Structure 1
Amino acid sequence: MSTFIALLRAVNVGGTGKLLMSDLKALCEDAGFEKVRTYIASGNVVFHSGRSAAQVKALLEAGLQAHCGKPVGVLVRTSAEMAAVLAANPFPAAKPNRVMAIFLDATPPANALAAITGQNGEEIALGRREFYVHYGEGMASSRLKIRAAEAGTARNMNTVARLVDMAEAL
């Protein structure tokens, strides 16, 4: 059994993609995942499974499609991969609520940083399958556009740390 962390995209944000975390937990349990725990209403779930990450992603996306009536993107990491994301934070001195990891399914393209628009003081770095963004002045007034991250989902370092702790506790 491996410990996985699944991050749902565009769930319970700005009034879109409404999904109760109790429904997400039940959906995961129905898929055969064990020791399922959710964290905050933005679609974070930690669990054990004997399946591969690709199988976990496919099962979750199919279940969410059936439940929500529309596609819901899911990004999956093992507990070790999520711990590595936390450890690789290139902005460790910054406030953790102002540093986001934008999770992707694949490695960002080589020209990803050159294609960014609207940057105004934000610091950006590439990870293995994520972008790191330090919003020094906060996200509210940011006009940052990262085209290569449009299919991704973001979590701040406080959330990443909490998910790592939850995974380690399973």
Structure 2
Amino acid sequence: MTVYVALFSGINVGGNRIVKMAELRAFFGDQGFGDVATYIQSGNVVFTAAGEGDAAALCKRIEAAFEARWGFGSRIMVRDAAWFENTVAKNPYPEVAGDPTRLHAYVLEREPTAAEIGPVAERCTGAERFEVIGDVLYLHAPDGLGKSKFAEVLPRVLKVPATARNWRTVLALVEMAKGA
């Protein structure tokens, strides 16, 4: 069995597109996945699947079944547990990892090109700093994500679909995956 984490975008935000975590856990069980657990209300699901599956194929399968079940789509990123451990190990800002609400990992649908990163770097003019390593954009927002003007424009400028999680969530998902 391989341990995976599915990260949903845009559910349970501002009272819209509500999906109860108990229902989401049951949904994953109905899809044949095992050891299903969720973390907070923003759509983080740890689960196991038989064999060495393809995360991209799992993602498409889950997205289609989710839309059929709830009647709306959600971009979902699926990564295996090793990917999360690697993300933590490669954190370019270990000095701020102790303040997990100021450090964020944007899980990118794919690794961006240098041409796609260029405009992002031009927009990062405040106190924030970022680094892209593979398909992860690490963002240190010293004043918090809610006050970051850079984080506000990041999705429009980068042009690579992503979903962000604060470092506390990343670490919690790693621990949950280890326990699955």
TM-score scaled by length of structure 2: 0.88
In structure 2, distance between residues paired with 1:19 and 1:150: 25
1:53–1:76 CA contact under 8 A, matched in 2: yes
Q: CA RMSD, aligned part only?
A: 1.4
Q: Identify which range, 23-32 or 137-146, moves more after superposition.
A: 137-146
State the Cα distance separating 1:130 from its structure 2 match.
Answer: 1.4
In structure 2, distance between residues paired with 1:126 and 1:111: 13
Structure richer in helix, relative to its length: 2
Q: Specify the alignment match of 1:137 in structure 2.
A: 143
Is structure 2 residue 133 aligned with structure 1 residue 127? yes
Q: Specify the alignment match of 1:63 in structure 2.
A: 65
Tell me the SS of whatever aligns to 1:26.
helix
Q: Specify the alignment match of 2:74 in structure 1.
A: 72
Gaps of 5+ in 1: none
Which portions of structure 1, spanning 4 or more consecutive aligned residues, are displaced by more than 3 angstroms? none
State the Cα distance separating 1:68 from its structure 2 match.
Answer: 2.2
Amino acid paired to 2:82: A
Q: Deviations over 1:70-94 (max 9, x none)?
A: 2111001100001111111111111
State the Cα distance separating 1:52 from its structure 2 match.
Answer: 2.3
Give the length in aligned residue pairs: 170
Amino acid paired to 2:29: E
Amino acid paired to 1:11: I
1:31–1:59 CA contact under 8 A, matched in 2: no
Report the CA distance shift for 1:66/1:22 in structure 2 as closer, same or farther (over 3 A).
same
Q: Identify which range, 78-87 or 109-118, moves more after superposition.
A: 109-118
Q: 1:88 aligns with which of 87, 90, 98?
A: 90
1:123–1:133 CA contact under 8 A, matched in 2: yes
State the Cα distance separating 1:141 from its structure 2 match.
Answer: 2.0
In structure 2, distance between residues paired with 1:168 and 1:25: 18
Tell me the SS of whatever aligns to 2:38.
strand
Q: 1:103 aligns with which of 82, 94, 107?
A: 107
Q: 1:155 aligns with which of 145, 165, 169?
A: 165
Q: Identify which range, 120-129 or 13-22, moves more after superposition.
A: 13-22
State the Cα distance separating 1:69 from its structure 2 match.
Answer: 1.1
Q: Specify the alignment match of 1:24 in structure 2.
A: 24
State the Cα distance separating 1:149 from its structure 2 match.
Answer: 5.6
State the Cα distance separating 1:14 from its structure 2 match.
Answer: 2.2
1:75–1:103 CA contact under 8 A, matched in 2: yes
2:110–2:160 CA contact under 8 A, matched in 1: no
In structure 2, distance between residues paired with 1:112 and 1:15: 33
In structure 1, distance between residues paired with 2:159 and 2:167: 17
